[in-house]
Structure formats: C-alpha cells, structure tokens
Structure 1
Amino acid sequence: MTNFCYGCLYIKDRFIQEVFTIKPSPVQEVFFRGILFAEMKRAQILDNKWILLISTLSFCFLHLIYRHPPLLLIALISGLTWGIIFTKWPNIWGIAISHSLLGALAIFLDVI
C-alpha cells in the first residue's frame, strides 16, 4: 500500500485515508456546488457556462493537495460532470453521494 498524502501529512492507515477522502466529499459539494455555484447564479453576473467553468476549476484546484496529476484530470472531468448535472437538477445530495463513492473507488483502486 502506498502512502497517502494529505497536504504534507503522509498517512498509511487505510481507515484514516477513507476518513480524509470520503468524509469531506459532501462538504466539498456543498461548498462548490451548493454555495459557490448557487451564489454566482443568484447574483446573475455571469452566464451559466462561466459559473460552471469557475466552480469546476476551483473544485479541481482543491485537489492539488493530493500531489497526484492524474487525479487532477479526474477531478476536472468529474467536477465538470457534476456541475452540468447540478445545472440541470440542482440537488446536491446525489452529487455528494456520487463524489463519496468515487473517492471510495479511488482508495480501493489505490489511485490515491
């Protein structure tokens, strides 16, 4: 098993990896889709495409802490997908569950 990097803290325990990866997923979704995306839309300053781009890139850059370039690509694609879904159906909880499951799969496959 590889070391898990959370910031500059390396964690070897699988349970701790899951806590650091799966538990924050709903919080990230509430922040990036539920607050950032929704507030930009409410302000009516930008078009939905710009709001989607800003929230997706912000979400992607948050994942720099893992220091894993392929994960950035996964975060970009999944963030864009979840953003499009949220644009059409603004329900954060399905996206949060999906994010948690993707994080669990990443741990299971030893991607992170």
Structure 2
Amino acid sequence: MDYIACMMEQDEMTVNTKTQYPEKHHSRTHFLMVLALLYWLPVATILTGMVPFSLRSLLLLLMFVFTAIYAIMQGHSAAELGLENFNLRTSLAVNLPAGITAAGVVFLLPIAGVHDRLLPPPEATFIFFYVLISSPVQEFLFRSFLFSEMRRSNIHSPIWQVVISAMSFAFLHAVYLDPLTGLLSFAAGIMWSIIYQRIPNLAEVSLSHAIIGIMAIMSGVARKI
C-alpha cells in the first residue's frame, strides 16, 4: 500500500509539473508575430529614424529583456535554450577553431576602405561590453531563443532554421547602412546557426561571436559598430 501511495504521489507531482511548465507549441503565424514584434520592429524603429542610431545598444538590451521575459512566460527550458553544458567540450572544439579561422579571414579580407585600419582602436569599455554582454545577448536572441521558438512552431527544416536565423541576424545589422557589414553578418550568421543547430551551446557560440566580432572591429572591417 505504501508503494502504491508513493507511486500515486509521484504521478501527481509529474502532473503538477507538467501543468506548471506545459510544453507549448505555436502556429507558424504566431512565430511570425513573435519575429515581427521582437526582432523586426525594433530594427525598423532605427531605420525609420524613430529611435536614434546612438541608442542601438540600448535597443538591443531591450530586445533581450522582452525576449527573455517571453521565454520565461512560455516555459522555455534551459535545454531548449542551449544553456546546459553537457556538450561543452564538443562545442568548444568546434566553435573555437571556427571563430579563430573566421577571424583570420576577416582580418585578411582585401576590402575597399582599408585605410580605416588606421583609426584609433575602440575604447576598452566597448570591448568589454561587446565580449561580455553584446555577443551573448545577440546569440541568445538569434540562436538560443530563435531556434527554440522555431522548433516549437514546427519549423524543423535545417535549411529554413539556418536561413531564418542568419537573415534575422543580418537584418539587425542593417542599421549600419553598410553592405559589407550586412554581408559579413549574414555569412557569420549562417556559420553560427549551423554550429548551434548541431551543437546547441549558448556559451561557446557566444565565444566564437566575440572572437570574430572583435577582430572585425579592430581591423576596421566593422568599425561602424
């Protein structure tokens, strides 16, 4: 009897847990609304001049805050968001070489306007902000959360997942009004999306993002950032 009672209690706890944190699935229309409100609209406010370009970093942080709140309300788990470290070694073994290699390619790009490399380097405070805040925030938005939402919206095609993530990431950089920045952002978005899709780990893809981004900024390729 004690065994049966114990089993019934465990079943009840399981039911309560599922009730408290239900696994929610959305329609693709719902996903498009999330994409429009949390991703496209903030960028559009800068492109249309409603929000000054100088406030782009603040707007990025607001995007993160609203997206994080939404993720909590929808019950996104740590596993769904790539916040667990069971694949840490595998992710590091892929992201670190990819980040270093891509950073080298960015540095060696034979681009027009190479004289920008003579500009003074960005301030140390910006470097810390970019590495510790901006890169993880961007990866949470465009890989961690976005992939989780796509799976919940039954968008399981690997190609569509990569394309949606990379295009959304590139659109974020449209505020710089620089074709090269947009092209490089799209290319980097494809690389990070493919890596994250196969090895979902937010910390390591953020590290790769920071390495490439800092090299692009220091070399003058992405100095407008």
Q: TM-score of the superposition, structure 1-length normalised? A: 0.79
- Correspondences of 1:72-83 after superposition (within 5 Å): 72-83=182-193
Alignment match of 2:153 (pick from 39, 43, 62): 43
Count of matched residue positions in the alignment of Structure 1 and Structure 2: 104
The 1-side partners of 2:154 and 2:167 are apart by 19
Contact in 2 for aligned 1:41/1:48 (Cα 8 Å):
no
Show the counterpart of 1:89.
199
Alignment match of 1:63 (pick from 148, 173, 176): 173
The 1-side partners of 2:155 and 2:122 are apart by 43
Contact in 2 for aligned 1:56/1:80 (Cα 8 Å):
yes
Q: TM-score of the superposition, structure 2-length normalised? A: 0.42
**Unmatched 5+ stretches in structure 1:** 1-6
Percentage of matched positions with identical amino acids: 36
Tell which deviates more after alignment, 39-48 or 77-86: 39-48
Contact in 1 for aligned 2:170/2:185 (Cα 8 Å):
yes
Contact in 1 for aligned 2:155/2:161 (Cα 8 Å):
no
Say yes or no: does 1:14 pair with 2:122. Answer: yes
Contact in 1 for aligned 2:122/2:218 (Cα 8 Å):
no
Which structure has the larger Rg? 2
Show the counterpart of 1:3.
none
The 2-side partners of 1:27 and 1:95 are apart by 11
Cα offset, 1:81, TM superposition: 0.6
The 2-side partners of 1:21 and 1:67 are apart by 20
More strand by share: 1
The 2-side partners of 1:104 and 1:94 are apart by 15
**Unmatched 5+ stretches in structure 2:** 1-51, 55-119
Measured on the aligned residues, the alpha-carbon RMSD in Å equals 2.1
